[in-house]
Structure 1
């Protein structure tokens, strides 16, 4: 049975195991304790991940779009002693000992670094780095058991869909694709279609060519895909403009990373995309809830998956249990039995979870009204002209927004019409009174977003405060 398909050759589960054992032996022989991968989505990445598990080496997946400063911070903080990367990238460390290695038909370079592993929570198998509001990545330590529980929960929940081919459309360095898009399908015995992200139309953290993506989906005919909301929005727009429909092979398009919006989901269904919203976070080893065919509720993030438990605290904060992380790197504080997510939400009588936004992001206007900016941003992104939006205005009489258009040719008049349409659905205290076009893409490269696409609000405010006429601090 085929486990991986890169469009040129295939690998069986036995092929992957053989390659992983060979690499695991090498890692053990040279005394590697912490391995970082700085690579594209390729079968070699998958082999490296499996090898780390076999050799009990801590794996630190690094996104290719991390800045030089972020990479430097992560390498030292995590005590990475071995880096597996492409030859061109290995040149960044010219004085470090290195050796060529071929993994799954891919020529790579193994760089030995002088760092030593710091104390970590017992059982740490993987460290995923997520950017905070300052852009400095924070290490989330995960055990093999927690990650496997999530993968098994997804296998159980998705079993009725009989997923046999999954197209990996997000970077493996993003935990959502790593666990839900790789571990879970492989555990089920499905085939993972693993292609370099550029072939799928994705470059950096947010440049996405929906036309190219659609052609690749048509070519490979997957049953499932995981997307970020902005990717779904661009794909839906392409299908509507081209008057095309999604391939009939698709049974599940899971969407996460940010609120999706009911209008976008409805538009997706109208062109044959079976899109379903979910919710998760790194501290819970990724996905916690998911809408499913026949078990969905408009405006919700779905019900808890088999591995997850959720409850609502007295102040409205969502708390989770069942697949928690082991702790933050460098922080000895024990992980509580129930983790406060920082998200506000509710759970209805049927178990569907609704997420209102981040607890710490609630804006309080000068008139004393509490407003979740993410609620308004979802309304703005429901308009076809708007690709991304960030709402600001804490302490101000009215709200402002920074907008990034879905297409470069979108005019200011188009954006104003979109804002007017969104405002018409909102109460007066939640309407956007001023807006400006973004000065840079909302992505990790510009510093305007985290690697998984969440906006860096402080950076966005600083870069646009003058245009909006509001204080930057």
Structure 2
């Protein structure tokens, strides 16, 4: 839809028919009936080896655990909370709960006692499964405030075996009856948005929401989920299953029978070992992971005295990726002979090493959470890893837009998910509509969802964006995060922050300037990048409190700021910055569990540093 020559609305027809019967709890049993011997999961063993699990084996275990949940007196519609890292057991309990007719409620394992209590209390959860004794103690400490909570189980002390044993005498038909009673419109999960202010709200997602999301995504991303080569599709999930993105991936992989593994830790050494052992063909990632792999490769090259060669390889990969993009859109001839030769030269020297760091077989990466940035997306494309960027919310069951295969537009988040629509409101706010849009926010008094869309089904996202002439969406900022300087200039902080965070030395950053004369930034240092910088500058022993005033470090960060400022006008540019001796983190309360800034808390806790940025020089 065009308004005064500007694209204001785009819709894409569905690629998959809507599901009219059944629930997510049927997926393991459908897989077992249609392809009993196909590998659908792999489970990491204590030795580090990966054991394959067939569709039949998974369905058997799901049924056994579901019987245990029923045997413990849990009724259809009861809420079961899961507080654990990304593990096989998380996915097993999720599908077993659905097979038993329950509603699952994720809790981040890093949540405080207060946060966990609120979610359990608001959802009136009757049962909770945790991973370790630490979470057991945390929940036990607030249990007097949770009258509805009847059961508390712990994975690493045998929760799965205990549930299987409890349901051993129940007939299989007990589970079949629960599954048969579920329809797509039934509630599947309550996912509490971490929120940047206030208490988390429970997003009510139905089985139909997940089917609309994953079925259309799988069909759209055919080369990713349904391998077109001899290499079976597989992915290693390291995103939190407490977050909607990770959850959608798990459901989508089981639905498409893609081999799925779980990586509970993203600590560099453990994560790289899991990638090397599992060897995925595609990854679902947030930009931070791809930035870290790139920056680690750059640091390694610098240590070997090959930084200049690495940088040249980066320029070639970016040029190649952009040339391929232009060719696919019919706006260019594609990579020329010289560019192809240069790329071939650097493939064994640089690009293959980058792919090896991701397990060696990765050819696709689906990236969401925040913009990856044009330069990094073009680099990975040129290095042999096709990037699909997406945009979505908990309220949209993850992706609302995604890059279409063979038609990338670097710097955008693609088209609407098939079967959905995107509209840009008069003030630039992104509105979304489709089968993946949630039922509403959980109302504890009603015991049901309170609708959050308008009468025509449009969801106001709070994000700002623009559609180009071909319907690709670009995210420009958050409606509530727009900074208005004392001179009346509106500044979107996201582009500046995203570009700064791509620098190896920058961990987190927050742009500041509300009702101030100019824009400034608070910057924290990335530990691995800082460690490498210390080695290269021979300043290993300088305390961090002194290092943040080091002239060379300040100059290096200034280069990053200057690079970010190229994105904006002079009035929007960062004039001054402060390097903080401590990082923003979830533990300090400055980041949400999904790594979004809690801006009001940062402003409060670093008011002195901010004021100093506006003192006379």
Which TM-score applies when normalising by structure 2?
A: 0.68
State which drifts further: 53-62 or 288-297.
288-297
Q: Does 1:7 align with 2:44?
A: yes
- Over residues 341-390 of structure 1, what are the superposed CA-to-partner deviations in whole Å (9 max), with x where a residue is unaligned? 11111112222111111111111111111111112212323433323221
Question: In 2, distance between residues paired with 1:427 and 1:7?
Answer: 50
Given that 1:176 and 1:286 are in contact with CA atoms closer than 8 Å, whether structure 2 keeps it comes out as yes
Task: Name which of 82, 97, 105 aligns with 1:37.
Answer: 82
Q: Equivalences for 1:65-84 in 2 at 5 Å?
A: 65-84=110-129
Return the alpha-carbon distance in structure 2 between the equivalents of residues 102 and 445 of structure 1.
24
Partners of 2:96 and 2:273 lie apart in 1 by 33
Cα 1:259–1:87, aligned 2, differ >3 Å: closer, same or farther? closer
Tell me, yes or no, if the aligned pair for 1:135 and 1:456 is still in contact at 8 Å. Answer: no
CA contact (8 A) 2:234 2:282 kept: yes
Alignment equivalent of 2:468, drawn from 330, 348, 354: 348
Partner residue of 2:576?
A: 434
1:464 aligned residue: 606
CA distance in structure 2 between the aligned counterparts of 1:109 and 1:69, rounded to whole angstroms:
28
1:129 is aligned, of 192, 201, 215, to 192
Question: Are the aligned partners of 2:294 and 2:354 in contact in 1 as well (CA < 8 Å)?
Answer: no
Instruction: Indicate yes or no: 2:492 matched with 1:372.
Output: yes
Q: Equivalent residue of 2:289, what SS?
A: helix
Pairwise CA distance, 1:102: 7.0
Q: Is the 8 Å Cα contact of residues 263 and 382 (structure 1) preserved in structure 2? A: no
How far apart, CA to CA, are the structure 1 residues paired with 2:485 and 2:442?
36
Alignment of 1:369-408 (within 5 A): 369-406=489-526, 407-408=529-530
Q: Per-residue deviation at 1:334?
A: 5.2
For the residues of structure 1 that align with 2:161 and 2:63, how far apart are their CA atoms? 17
Which moves more between the two structures, 349-358 or 4-13? 4-13
For the structure 1 residues 276 and 93, does the alpha-carbon distance in structure 2 shift closer, same or farther, using more than 3 Å as the test?
closer
Give the CA deviation at 1:239. Answer: 2.4
Identify unmatched segments of 5+ residues in structure 1.
111-121, 202-208
Q: 2:355 maps to what in 1? A: 246
Once the two structures are superposed, residues 104-151 of structure 1 have per-residue CA deviations (whole angstroms, 9 ceiling, x without a partner) of 9876888xxxxxxxxxxx732201111222263221111111011101
Matched, 1:169 2:238: yes
> What is residue 324 of structure 1 aligned with on the other side?
437
Q: Distance in 2 between matches of 1:71 and 1:439?
A: 30
Name the residue aligned to 1:139.
202
User: Is contact 1:168-1:177 (8 Å) kept?
Assistant: yes
In structure 2, the partner of 1:91 is 137
What secondary structure sits across from 1:152 in the alignment? helix
Quickly say closer, same or farther: Cα 1:184–1:104, change in 2 above 3 A.
farther
Q: Equivalents in 2 of 1:445, 1:301: separation in Å?
A: 30
DSSP-derived class of the 1:408 partner? helix
Distance apart, 1:98 and its partner CA: 5.5
Task: From the superposition, tell whether residues 87 and 422 of structure 1 become closer, same or farther in structure 2 (CA, over 3 Å).
Answer: closer
Superposition CA RMSD, Å: 2.6
Conservation of the 8 A alpha-carbon contact between 1:47 and 1:103: no
Sort the Cα spacing of 1:47 and 1:382 in 2 relative to 1 into closer, same or farther, 3 A: closer
Q: Are residue 27 (structure 1) and residue 90 (structure 2) matched? A: no
1:17 aligns with 2:139: no
Partner of 1:182: 250
Per-residue deviation, 1:401: 1.0
Equivalent-residue separation in structure 1 for 2:521 and 2:428 (angstroms):
26
User: How much does 1:29 deviate?
Assistant: 3.1
Q: Provide the C-alpha distance between the structure 2 equivalents of 1:258 and 1:105, rounded to a whole number of angstroms.
A: 37
Please state how far the C-alpha of 1:274 moved relative to its aligned partner: 2.8
1:125-274 mapped onto 2 (5 Å cutoff): 125-134=188-197, 136-161=199-224, 162-163=226-227, 164-179=233-248, 181-195=249-263, 197-198=264-265, 200-201=266-267, 209=268, 212-242=270-300, 243=350, 244-247=353-356, 248-274=360-386
Displacement of 1:300 after TM fit? 0.5
8 Å contact 2:463–2:478 — kept in the other structure?
yes
Residues 370 and 334 of structure 1: CA distance in aligned 2, closer, same or farther (over 3 Å)? closer
Q: Would the alpha carbon gap of residues 170 and 334 (structure 1) be closer, same or farther in structure 2, given more than 3 Å must change?
A: closer
Q: Assess, with a 3 A threshold, how the Cα gap between structure 1 residues 169 and 292 changes in structure 2: closer, same or farther.
A: farther
Secondary structure at 1:349's aligned position in 2?
coil
Q: How many residues align?
A: 450
State the partner residue of 1:205: none
Q: Secondary structure at the match of 2:44?
A: coil
Cα 1:212/1:47, change in 2 over 3 Å:
closer
TM-score after normalising by structure 1 = 0.88
Question: Does residue 453 of structure 2 align to residue 335 of structure 1?
Answer: yes
Deviations 1:303-323 (A, max 9, x none): 112143211122211111111
Residues 238-289 of structure 1 show CA distances to partners (whole Å, capped at 9, x for unaligned) of: 1233352214521221111112211222333454443332101111111111
The secondary structure found in structure 1 opposite 2:606 is: helix
Partner of 1:64: 109
